[in-house]
């Protein structure tokens, strides 16, 4: 994977934009949109959603031959687990690209309070991932409505609600990714840990057939994300699913923050 170098704000850039957290957020926003990797990640996520939605929608329709149809919002939720890794890469590079280039030192000179720097990166990446999630859901639902034809169930209100929940889900996954990235400082390590944690571990735990592990599997980020985005009521509701997602993100961010505080840039 080719990593992009994030331009660093000069020492005092944060003060020039007002200082404090608003200044740090402004600097991070400028850095994020000044590199090609941000645009490629967003375009890649959109293309993955566009190309994968018809396949997953068709599979779901075939599995529901005797039902009235397939909700296009549900197709979008099932498809986002492919497209989300483009936005995960975007969030990861916010941290790892600066460590690769050595520009993290300059960033910390501009924003010496490490918690403030981490908060600014989370705010900016989270906002972009939220908006990206909304757009991805609309793409997935729109493509599915066209490709499924009369098998598609397209409820405008449900699509809008699902798109907002998908945005929240991806914003929290962004926060989780940044927490891992700040702890391990490696693009390959971050991507491996996030991939295993989101996709591999739930499957392994579910396959164990041991009640405590199956219980844990259904409360891991991707599983909780599915319940949240689909607004499920069983085995727990969307509100509980949101709490699980938030807890995972906060705990992993706290671990990353501790690692950041204890080590030199």
Which DSSP state fits 18? T
- Digit-by-digit pLDDT tens for the chain (265 residues) are 444 555 544 444 444 445 688 989 999 999 999 889 999 999 999 999 999 999 999 888 888 765 678 999 999 999 999 999 999 999 999 999 998 888 888 888 888 898 899 999 999 999 999 999 999 999 999 999 999 988 888 999 999 999 999 999 999 999 999 999 999 999 999 999 999 999 999 999 989 889 999 999 999 999 999 999 999 998 999 999 999 999 999 999 999 999 988 876 6
CB atoms under 10 Å from CB of 97, counted, come to 21
What is the token pair recorded at 201?
């571990």
Q: Token pair 């639902």 is at which residue?
A: 141
Q: Which pTM value belongs to this model?
A: 0.89
> Helices (H), strands (E): how many in the chain?
12, 2
Instruction: Dump the DSSP string for 187-237.
Output: HHHHHHHHHIIIIIHHHHHHHT--HHHHHHHTTSHHHHHHHHHTT--SSS-
């Amino acid at each position: 994977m080719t990593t992009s170098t994030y331009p660093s704000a000069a020492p005092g850039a944060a003060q020039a934009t007002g200082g404090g957290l608003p200044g740090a957020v402004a600097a991070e926003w400028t850095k994020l949109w000044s590199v090609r990797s941000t645009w490629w990640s967003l375009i890649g996520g959109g293309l993955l959603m566009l190309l994968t939605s018809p396949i997953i929608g068709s599979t779901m329709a075939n599995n529901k031959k005797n039902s009235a149809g397939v909700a296009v919002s549900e197709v979008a939720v099932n498809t986002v687990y492919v497209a989300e890794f483009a936005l995960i890469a975007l969030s990861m590079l916010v941290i790892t690209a600066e460590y690769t280039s050595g520009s993290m030192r300059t960033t910390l000179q501009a924003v010496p309070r490490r918690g403030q720097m981490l908060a600014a990166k989370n705010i900016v990446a989270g906002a972009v991932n939220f908006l990206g999630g909304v757009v991805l859901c609309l793409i997935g639902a729109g493509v599915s409505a066209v490709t499924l034809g009369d098998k598609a169930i397209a409820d405008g209100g449900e699509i809008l609600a699902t798109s907002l929940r998908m945005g929240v889900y991806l914003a929290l996954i962004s926060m989780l990714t940044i927490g891992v990235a700040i702890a391990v400082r490696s693009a390959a390590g971050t991507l491996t840990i996030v991939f295993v944690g989101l996709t591999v571990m739930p499957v392994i735990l579910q396959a164990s057939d041991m009640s405590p592990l199956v219980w844990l599997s259904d409360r891991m980020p991707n599983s909780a994300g599915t319940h949240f985005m689909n607004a499920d009521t069983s085995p727990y509701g969307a509100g509980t699913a949101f709490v699980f997602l938030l807890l995972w993100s906060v705990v992993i961010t706290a671990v990353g923050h501790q690692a950041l505080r204890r080590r030199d840039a």
